[in-house]
Each structure stands twice: as structure tokens, then as C-alpha cells.
Amino acid sequence: MSFYQQIAMYYHHIFKINIQQIDFIKSKIPENYAKLIDIGCGIGTLSFELIKYYNSVLGIDMDAEMIKTALKENKEKLKPAHFQQNSMLELNSFIGKNTIDGIVCFGNTLVHLNSLDEIADFLKQSKRVLKKDGKLLLQIVNYDKILSQNIKQLPLIENDEIIFERNYHYQKSENKIEFNTRLTVKSTQQIIENSILLVPILKKELSVLLKNAGFINCNLYGNFNQNLYSIDSPALIVEAW
């Protein structure tokens, strides 16, 4: 059983809905008739909130178990979203040119790609499928801070149901971060561990790739309250169009 198959049933305990994310998106993309894509949608937590405000929301994720869970819950919704298992590197294959009002890629999804070249490819495809005034909204961990301050652990996530530990190990020779996670289910004391390599893209690198992809305008924030980005910000949040 894969890591994501194991944690799918606990995912909503780990990553709960963040109302600040919703408010941020609504402030950047007009409501009502807009069409949105939620990249790396997981079990659909964000998509289910966005469909309350927008005409159409498509959640995509590579993991079959996550999509299966999202589709199961989707059947119970009065206004359903749409979900499909697909790669964020294949937008051109199933999304028409200049048809989307907004692309949302939160939860550090971007750095799960394998290289800067793949990130560049995703940004170019995003620009292609977005309408002329469409927005790309990204959120990743602030890797300028992680690397410059040699941070090895992210804040612990703990509630009545789970404990989620997240540790970093920077592999300088490969310019990759080994991301090790440990999920403890309190009711059963089950422990689920995983390790994956991430691409720690820096602010300057991402800014260049966005410009090369055709995003002329770009605002950078350090959190969803829209405070301006700084080296000490917990996150790097991008609004690009």
C-alpha cells in the first residue's frame, strides 16, 4: 500500500481548511462564473470550499486514492466539483487554450516536481490554459529561509486525532531536500512514515521562470494575509498574471 493510500483517510485531520486561503483566492479571482483548477487537490478539501463561490472547479491530483476519496465525498455535495487523476505536467492534454480564469496550486505541491525544468514546463502550460487576465496562485514553503537558516524541521501538526512530524535534510550535491514525514494516529498508535525528494526553488529562481513563461505581472506575499514577502516569511505565495 502506498503512502498516500495509507494517509488518505486521515488527510482531513492533517490539512484542515484554511479560511485565509479562501479569502485570498476570492480577493484575487472574481467569483461567480469563473472556472478554476485546483492543482494537487488531495481529497478535495480546498476544491469543496471553492465550488461554493465559483462556477466550476476542477481538482487534479496524481494519486488515485486521493481522487477516489474526493469523488466519494463529491457525490454528497449539492454543488459538486470535478475531479480527475492527472499530472500537473499534462494540462495541455485536457485543458483548452485560454479557457481558465484561475489556477490554484497550494500546499507546497509545486516543489514535488522533479526539477526546475519541470517547474518551468508547468508554468508555461499554466500560462497557455489561462485566459488573458487569468491568475496563477502558488504557495510553497519559503526555501530561501529554509536553506539560509539551515532549518531541519517544520512546525509540528497535532490535534485530537493525529501527530504529523515533518523533517528536512538538504542534499547540497543534488540540490534536493529529503522530506521525511511521520504520522501517528492517536486512536490506534499506528505510525506511517514516508520520505520524498523536493526541489527547493528560491524566490529569485521562481521569479525568473514565471517571467520566462509569460507572466508579466507578479506579486509576492509571505502569508495569506497578504503581508509582503521577506526572507523571514513562513511561505512564498505568488499571484501571477
Tens of pLDDT along 139-192? 999 999 999 999 999 999 999 999 999 999 999 999 999 999 999 999 999 999
Q: Is residue 1 over pLDDT 60? A: no
How confident is the model at residue 5, as a pLDDT?
63
Q: Which residues contact residue 159 at a Cβ distance below 8 angstroms, ignoring those fewer than 6 apart? A: 13
Query: From the CB of residue 191, how many other CB atoms can be counted at a distance below 10 Å?
Result: 10
8 A C-beta contact, residue 69 and residue 8: yes
Q: Give the burial class of 128: count Cβ atoms within 10 A of its Cβ; 0-12 exposed, 13-18 middle, 19 or more buried.
A: middle
Q: Is residue 48 over pLDDT 90? A: yes
How confident is the model at residue 11, as a pLDDT?
74
Q: What is the pTM of this model?
A: 0.94
How confident is the model at residue 2, as a pLDDT?
61
Q: How far is CA 198 from the centre of its chain?
A: 13
8 A C-beta contact, residue 34 and residue 52: no
